[in-house]
């Protein structure tokens, strides 16, 4: 059955059309990858780092030794987001967004809910408030959409309000990603503070700046920062399957050391693929001295998790199967693309 917010959106469109309002529906080609919101190609930020594992401070590369047959990860966290421009009202895009997150626990080789899962559905549009542009939406005219409204009519850093459709779309994209990130962070904090959760937590994404605690590792599949010079970066791209780099402590955009230790690890390698970072992930753990010696062990756990392969996920070369399972679990509970398409 459609969710309440989808019902509200469908009814809103019908009402406005019947009253002759300017409602435009984008042509809808069934598109599970949702390329309406395909992010632009990002040029990685150039940042600094300090190699903390080697006495000479030079990044080195080493084969990961696998000394166990069992991974130390017992819990797995991932999130999803679904978003779509459902209609334009007076040329302003109204966007539907759904985010969800879950922590699954593995018991006797089977994954099941750990009691930490949540979804949030919202419409994203600019609201008319004190001092905002006149063409923004008055709360009365959009009240039939329901209470799940997030305002994307905020000033930018220069004090300007958005007014172009692309600006509203970008603002919604940012808000949806932030909401998903905050939901995932709240689950990690809850997991760390609970007495009944033991073992290690595998987080699909960064852990920097949000988390205290020890028994968790964040895995970054998209490399949005470059921490080394070209020659060293080239060596990272040429790592073999099962190799990792030395552990380093990255710096943020302002040159401040982040509260994590990190290293690169290659899960898969296919020289015929032709993509530099094929199979390469970056691992983050809390910057605690007692964890520094566990880099090889944690890397071996991650390599053990690559069987079975997470195919046919789009980034299977950098994904472990339990995370693919988390994604499939969330997708089975989220509003389907057919439901979302029914809005328009």
Q: At residue 1, does pLDDT exceed 50?
A: no
User: Taking residues 262-281, what's their average pLDDT?
Assistant: 88
Question: Would you list the domain boundaries of the chain?
Answer: 4-341
- Give 166: exposed, middle or buried? Use CB within 10 Å, 0-12, 13-18, 19+: exposed
Q: At residue 32, does pLDDT exceed 70?
A: no
pTM for the complete prediction? 0.90
What pLDDT is attached to residue 194?
85
What pLDDT digit, counting tens, does each position of 182-212 carry?
999 999 999 988 877 788 999 999 997 656 6
């Amino acid at each position: 059955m459609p969710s309440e917010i989808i019902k509200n959106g469908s009814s809103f469109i019908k009402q406005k059309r019947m009253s002759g309002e300017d409602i435009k529906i984008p042509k809808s080609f069934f598109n599970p990858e949702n390329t309406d919101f395909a992010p632009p190609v990002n040029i990685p930020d150039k940042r600094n780092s300090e190699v903390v594992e080697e006495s000479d401070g030079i990044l080195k590369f080493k084969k990961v030794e696998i000394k166990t047959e069992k991974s130390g990860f017992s819990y797995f966290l991932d999130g999803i987001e679904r978003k779509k421009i459902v209609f334009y009202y007076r040329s302003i895009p109204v966007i539907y967004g759904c985010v969800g997150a879950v922590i699954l626990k593995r018991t006797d080789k089977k994954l099941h809910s750990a009691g930490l899962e949540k979804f949030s559905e919202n419409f994203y549009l600019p609201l008319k408030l004190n001092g905002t542009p006149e063409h923004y939406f008055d709360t009365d005219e959009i009240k039939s959409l329901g209470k799940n409204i997030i305002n994307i009519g905020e000033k930018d850093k220069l004090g300007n309000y958005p007014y172009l459709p692309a600006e509203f779309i970008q603002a919604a994209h940012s808000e949806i990603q932030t909401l998903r990130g905050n939901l995932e962070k709240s689950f990690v904090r809850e997991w760390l503070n609970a007495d009944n959760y033991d073992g290690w937590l595998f987080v699909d994404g960064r852990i920097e700046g949000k988390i205290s605690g020890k028994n968790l590792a964040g895995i970054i599949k998209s490399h949005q920062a470059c921490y080394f010079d070209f020659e060293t970066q080239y060596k990272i791209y040429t790592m073999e399957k099962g190799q990792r780099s030395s552990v380093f402590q990255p710096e943020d955009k302002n040159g401040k050391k982040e509260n994590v230790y990190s290293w690169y690890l290659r899960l898969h390698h296919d020289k015929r693929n032709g993509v530099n970072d094929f199979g390469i992930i970056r691992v983050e753990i809390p910057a605690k001295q007692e964890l520094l010696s566990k880099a090889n062990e944690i890397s071996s756990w991650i390599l053990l998790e690559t069987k079975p392969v997470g195919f046919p996920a789009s980034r299977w070369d950098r994904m472990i199967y339990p995370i693919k399972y988390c994604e499939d679990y969330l997708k089975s509970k989220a509003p389907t693309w057919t439901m979302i398409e029914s809005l328009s």
